[in-house]
């Protein structure tokens, strides 16, 4: 593993707190949460007590007012331990929902919701994906029709992380169905509003402890004051914040790569075969050497993207490059490492098995790999003077 210079002594003290929480209060129960399909709200509140949620929110909204590296530490420690349930749920809450409210919510909305999100008293979700609109968000059909001082919302969302647990959702809607991307608005919707119906929990091949649901909106009446930013500006807001989300995913994925290699080195050094250990075989050494080299290279790139983000200079194209390459590598690493575990790698009590099933969504969520390639390709040819018709 390479040396990293991003973190101060204070960050490392915080890391010790997060790691202790994960080891003592999360890991012993995670298998049960996977069976139940969601993380109990008590763990959210406990995480809030320890300052693990929305770490970088300003103090006036209940946060610690610290830098985003504290958020990075939380992401890394949950995924280092393979605790994908709270790891994924907390990421949505802290890295996706809270930033939208902070950036574009009214002062009343920020004061009302952010302090409770920090404490884990309120759980946030974001509603973008629909049955007919995934990566192409311009095609969403959920609509919000203005009626006096309210919007009346009708529509459906699917694959919504924290969908069952959520108390609030940042909902992507169409306030002008004819205006395509310019007709999209983001509205904060409370889960207890009449007509907001939480459908079935979706059974997934991975991230099994993170609740994922279908959500339905049937004549849901929401005050216009719940809108984030200006009407019709939602698509631009999503595009602006997606770089943050994609970097968060790269942070997670590179940590999984490092953890999986570590688990496999430890296992192959102990596993006896043909008069030696698996680690004695050249094939084992060559496979892990290749994975380690590729992981080290992308660790450097990911950390570079983190420094750019901290400086407010992360380009959406660089975020797409990080998301594309690191999630591809994650899938490769967990697959090849599982092979070295043999039959044990197929048993869910081993973290490599859970890492394998959890990994596949990373090339889809937050924008599919093909969309990342499109973003990068368009930028590449734009810089070269455009493409030929």
Asked about 245 being catalytic, the answer comes back as yes
| C-alpha 78 chain-centroid distance | 12
The confidence score (pLDDT) of residue 134 equals: 67
β-strand pairing of 168-174 with 124-127: parallel
Q: Which whole-number Å values give the CA distances from 146 to 19, 103, 150, 352, in the listed order? A: 47, 23, 6, 50
Closest CA to 87 of 118, 36, 47: 47
In CATH terms, is domain 236-383 a member of 3.40.980.10? no
Asked whether 256 and 330 are in contact (CB, 8 A), the reply is yes
The confidence score (pLDDT) of residue 193 equals: 98
The confidence score (pLDDT) of residue 305 equals: 98
For 145-195, what is each residue's pLDDT tens digit?
999 999 999 999 999 999 999 999 999 999 998 888 889 999 999 999 999
Task: Give the sign of the dihedral formed by CA 126, CA 255, CA 351, CA 13.
Answer: negative
Catalytic choice (245, 292, 294, 370)? 245
From first CA to last CA, the distance across the chain in angstroms is: 46
The confidence score (pLDDT) of residue 180 equals: 80
pLDDT along the chain (389 residues), means of 10: 86 97 96 93 97 97 96 97 93 96 98 98 96 78 96 97 96 91 94 97 93 97 98 92 94 97 97 90 97 98 97 96 98 98 94 96 92 95 72
Query: In degrees rounded to 5, what are phi and psi of residue 310?
Result: -60, -30
Asked whether 122 and 188 are in contact (CB, 8 A), the reply is no
The confidence score (pLDDT) of residue 250 equals: 97
User: Mapping DSSP to helix (H, G, I), strand (E, B) and coil, where does residue 166 land?
Assistant: coil
The confidence score (pLDDT) of residue 73 equals: 98
| Top-level class of domain 125-230 | mainly beta
User: Mapping DSSP to helix (H, G, I), strand (E, B) and coil, where does residue 199 land?
Assistant: strand
The confidence score (pLDDT) of residue 387 equals: 56
User: Mapping DSSP to helix (H, G, I), strand (E, B) and coil, where does residue 187 land?
Assistant: strand
In CATH terms, is domain 9-123 a member of 1.10.540.10? yes
Domain locations in the chain?
Answer: 9-123, 125-230, 236-383
Cα R_g (the chain), whole angstroms? 21
CA distance 276 to 301: 37
The confidence score (pLDDT) of residue 366 equals: 87
The confidence score (pLDDT) of residue 301 equals: 98
Asked whether 109 and 101 are in contact (CB, 8 A), the reply is yes
Domains 125-230 and 236-383 equal at CATH topology level = no
What token pair was written down for 28?
């012993």
CA distance 358 to 22: 18
């Amino acid at each position: 593993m390479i040396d990293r210079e991003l973190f101060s002594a204070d960050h490392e003290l915080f890391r010790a707190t997060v790691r202790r929480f994960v080891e003592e209060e999360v890991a012993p129960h995670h298998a049960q949460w996977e069976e139940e399909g969601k993380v109990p709200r008590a763990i959210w509140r406990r995480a809030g007590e320890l300052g693990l949620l929305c770490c970088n929110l300003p103090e006036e909204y209940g946060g610690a007012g610290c830098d985003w590296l504290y958020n990075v530490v939380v992401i890394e420690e949950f995924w280092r331990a393979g605790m994908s349930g709270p790891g994924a749920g907390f990421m949505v809450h802290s890295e996706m929902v809270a930033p939208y409210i902070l950036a574009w919510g009214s002062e009343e909305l920020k004061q009302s919701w952010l302090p409770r999100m920090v404490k884990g008293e309120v759980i946030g979700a974001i509603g973008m994906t629909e049955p007919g609109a995934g990566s192409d968000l311009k095609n969403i059909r959920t609509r919000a029709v203005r009626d006096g001082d309210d919007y009346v919302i009708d529509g459906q969302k699917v694959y919504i992380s924290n969908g069952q647990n959520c108390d609030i959702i940042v909902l992507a809607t169409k306030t002008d169905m004819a205006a395509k991307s310019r007709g999209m608005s983001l509205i904060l919707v409370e889960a207890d509003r009449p007509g907001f119906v939480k459908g079935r929990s979706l059974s997934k091949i991975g991230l099994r402890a993170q609740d994922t649901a279908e959500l339905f909106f049937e004549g849901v009446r929401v005050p216009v004051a719940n809108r984030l930013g200006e009407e019709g500006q939602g698509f631009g807001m999503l595009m602006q914040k997606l770089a943050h989300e994609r970097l968060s995913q790269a942070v997670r994925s590179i940590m999984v790569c490092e953890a999986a290699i570590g688990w496999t080195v430890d296992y192959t050094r102990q596993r006896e075969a043909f008069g030696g250990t698996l680690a004695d075989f050249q094939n084992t050494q060559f496979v892990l050497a290749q994975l380690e080299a590729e992981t080290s290279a992308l660790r450097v790139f990911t950390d570079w993207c983190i420094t750019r983000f901290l400086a407010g200079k992360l380009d959406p194209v660089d975020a797409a490059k990080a998301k594309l390459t690191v999630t591809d590598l994650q899938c490769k690493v967990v697959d090849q490492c599982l092979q070295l575990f043999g039959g044990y790698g197929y048993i869910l009590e081993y973290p490599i098995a859970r890492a394998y099933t959890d990994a596949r969504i990373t090339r889809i969520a937050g924008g599919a790999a093909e969309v990342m390639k499109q973003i990068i390709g368009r930028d590449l040819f734009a810089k070269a003077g455009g493409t030929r018709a």
